[in-house]
Structure 1
Amino acid sequence: MKTVNVKEEARRLIDKLPENCTWDDLIYAIYIRQGVEAGLADVKAGRIRTVEEVQRKLGLST
């Protein structure tokens, strides 16, 4: 697995933001990036469920 250099990735993320971005914009971008990476790690580790499995577990009809 490729090792991610967080500082480099943070710089790339900042460079993609508009010049007039706010701190909230930056925090949101970091939050989304971290969520995507966590999701991809879950998929790679097999920690996923189908929609049908979740619906059955929650007692929802399909």
Structure 2
Amino acid sequence: MEASKTPKAQAHDLIDELPDNASWEDVVYRLELHASIERGLADSEGGRVMPQVEVERRFGLRR
């Protein structure tokens, strides 16, 4: 997926990759997944991340 494409063009590409019998749920899932990945990449590039050990500590999974 080209980052230089508009969100509309990216959505068209994602939908075009789905099988012809895809449901509305399949379409929405694919778009939400892509949006979530884009947000995660932006957070990573912006330094808005924390080490896994810290996440585990905050959720009481590690002391």
TM-score by length of structure 2 reads 0.84
Matches of 1:12 and 1:3 in 2, distance apart? 13
Give the deviation of 1:49 after TM superposition.
0.9
Q: Match for residue 12 of structure 2?
A: 11
Unaligned runs of 5+ in 1: none
Q: What is the DSSP-based 3-state SS (H/G/I as helix, E as strand, rest coil) of the residue aligned with 2:19?
A: coil
Moved over 4 A (4+): none
Give the CA RMSD over aligned residues: 1.6
Give the deviation of 1:7 after TM superposition.
1.2
Identical amino acids, percent of aligned pairs: 38
Matches of 1:35 and 1:45 in 2, distance apart? 15
Count of residues paired in the alignment: 61
Unaligned runs of 5+ in 2: none
Matches of 1:29 and 1:13 in 2, distance apart? 7
